[in-house]
Structure 1
Amino acid sequence: MDTFQVIVLALIQGLTEFLPISSSAHLILPAQLLSWPDQGLSFDVAVNTGSFFAVVMYFRKELVSMFKAWTGSIVSREQNEESKLAWWIILATIPAVIVGFTAKDFIETHLRNIEVIAATTIVFGLLLWWADRLQSKGINEFQVGWKKALIIGVAQAMALIPGTSRSGATITAALMLGLSREAAARFSFLMSVPVSLGAAILVTKDLISSGEPIDYNALGLGMVISFLAAYVCIHYFLKIIAKMGMTPFVMYRLALGLILCGFIFL
């Protein structure tokens, strides 16, 4: 990749990782539509790591507090709302781990194409629109409970299909279960921490075994840009949904899906 492609792909990753529009789809499309070279495993690791550090940095106070409460609950067996939230995040991660290990090869072999991305972009966009129109019960992230956490975790596992969007699927499920928009987004962002960390470890393992040549300048640039873009994206996304809801992202998904359908049938 040249420097321009590195910058564009890193911006795409950072801006789309936490928006309900699918970062995986947007990273696949340049190679599919513009005949760009595949960015490779090493670049995927770099930009995903940048996004991971962005959400950790943004929610650093909450994560530190949750970690202290969680470790304390193991030692003393006494629970508070923060330790419960930490346990729910762990529980919600399990479905994605199971599906990731069992279906990873099938997804990468058969589902990384424009046809699948077009379909999931439209279908899950409509589901997000419907969920956003439901009357919220005003549940916050500390009132989720283990059953709702597990359901949202199943939605996160479904997002391994390109075009679905991890944040889109989890926010949709959370809205359907009565969470407010802001609480649904915060729970989704917190859920991304263990999943992103686990994915980075697995992809790094694949990278080491692949023997792929590494361009450290491209990786460093991609990581920094992805970090900055993701951090800004998280901050403004929480402000946008409080005022405008999910409609702008639904409209974008539908427009993108229709454009991709045009590429398919032309």
Structure 2
Amino acid sequence: MSSLSYLEATVVGLLQGVTELFPVSSLGHSVLVPALIGGRWATDLDVSAPESPYLAFIVGLHVATAAALLLFFWRDWVQIVTGFVTSVRYRRIETTGERLAWLIIVGTVPVGLVGLALEHTFRTTLGKPVPAAAFLVVNGVVLYAGERLRRRRDGGVATATADAGTDESLARTPLARGALIGAAQTLALLPGISRSGVTMTAGLLRGLTHDEAARFSFLLATPVILAAGVLKVPDLFGPLGSGIHGQVLAGSVASFVSAYLAVRFLTKYFHTRTMTPFAIYCVVAGAGSLLWLTLR
């Protein structure tokens, strides 16, 4: 891993920050891009290799991505943490902050348990270019199907509005519904399936607007990707990270900047737009990658 270049680290960092939040799968792109470039990139950046230092590197970048989300939503997180403290202290779930805190908790527990049990298995067996490309196509189909079903349910009326997506509106979501939406994150353990994409789709199908679904998706993702990153950071300070600390820093800075810009863009985008363009991209990119990888 000492051969990891600053260019590779920076490109992967930029890619991680954007694709973690755009509904297009960060892990899928982390697997596919090096394989499509080939050569040294495919050798250096192999996520399925046993005890892969590249996996530790890209998951370690999650800390920077989560930091960008915490910075962007810092007011929300102050309210959520305060709400959790008051909820435990007074044994109630009444205020906006208290309801949001428990929505995040019940939505995070399923993916945490499944991730601890199956992450290694999924990564070693499916973290290869061809499965990642196939799942990217599936991700596009899921996004498009979610949009079609949402439109059919609402009679073709758009649900994304400029005044939606507030903490108050999200706090009205029943806890059981929040748990179902959060459980959709477990599908993102499959390379090519987007965490934000499946949670937004689940949110839309459970009655949220695009704006609300995106906001809830980003809030749900923050503790998950932060925990995943923190768990891998010690690996980067051990033998796996030997000789690449500078590259890790460069990748982290790139990931932080790109993630912050991505969430800033997407929170505005989903005021009035849908996931359909991302669905089309995933199907085209996934199918094109499959053709390239199998026919070259």
Question: Structure 1 residue 113 and structure 2 residue 128: aligned?
Answer: yes
Aligned to 1:220: 249
| In 2, Cα distance between equivalents of 1:209 and 1:2 | 19
Aligned to 1:82: 97
- Normalising to structure 1: TM-score of the pair? 0.93
Q: Secondary structure at the match of 1:152?
A: helix
Aligned to 2:66: 52
Letter in 1 for 2:133: A
- Normalising to structure 2: TM-score of the pair? 0.84
Letter in 1 for 2:123: E
2:284 to 251, 255, 261: 255
Aligned to 2:48: none
Q: Secondary structure at the match of 1:163?
A: coil
The alignment-based identity, stated in percent, is: 32
| In 2, Cα distance between equivalents of 1:4 and 1:115 | 25
CA contact (8 A) 1:14 1:233 kept: yes
- CA pair 214-195 structure 1, distance change in 2 beyond 3 A: farther
How many residue pairs match? The answer is: 266
1:100 to 115, 118, 126: 115
Aligned to 1:70: 84
Aligned to 2:230: 201
Aligned to 2:49: none
Question: Structure 1 residue 143 and structure 2 residue 172: aligned?
Answer: yes
CA contact (8 A) 2:13 2:58 kept: no
Q: CA deviation digits over 1:112-165, x for unaligned, max 9?
A: 122222222122212211222312598842222111111112210111111001
1:240 to 264, 269, 273: 269
Question: Structure 1 residue 34 and structure 2 residue 37: aligned?
Answer: yes
- CA pair 141-210 structure 1, distance change in 2 beyond 3 A: farther
| In 1, Cα distance between equivalents of 2:275 and 2:227 | 28
Question: Structure 1 residue 162 and structure 2 residue 191: aligned?
Answer: yes
Letter in 2 for 1:252: Y
Cα drift, residue 193 of structure 1: 1.5
Letter in 1 for 2:63: T
Q: Secondary structure at the match of 2:127?
A: coil
Cα drift, residue 81 of structure 1: 2.0
| In 2, Cα distance between equivalents of 1:168 and 1:185 | 9
Q: CA deviation digits over 1:12-62, x for unaligned, max 9?
A: 011111010001111112332223112624522442111110000000001
Cα drift, residue 211 of structure 1: 4.7
Q: CA deviation digits over 1:177-221, x for unaligned, max 9?
A: 110001000000001121012101222344456554142211111
Letter in 2 for 1:121: L
Question: Structure 1 residue 43 and structure 2 residue 46: aligned?
Answer: no
Question: Structure 1 residue 174 and structure 2 residue 177: aligned?
Answer: no
CA contact (8 A) 2:36 2:289 kept: no
Q: Secondary structure at the match of 1:243?
A: coil
| In 2, Cα distance between equivalents of 1:41 and 1:119 | 20
Q: Which moved more, 1:90-99 or 1:135-144?
A: 135-144
| In 2, Cα distance between equivalents of 1:158 and 1:10 | 23
| In 2, Cα distance between equivalents of 1:178 and 1:76 | 30
Q: Secondary structure at the match of 1:25?
A: helix
CA contact (8 A) 2:14 2:255 kept: yes
- CA pair 7-205 structure 1, distance change in 2 beyond 3 A: closer
| In 2, Cα distance between equivalents of 1:240 and 1:233 | 10
CA contact (8 A) 1:42 1:219 kept: no
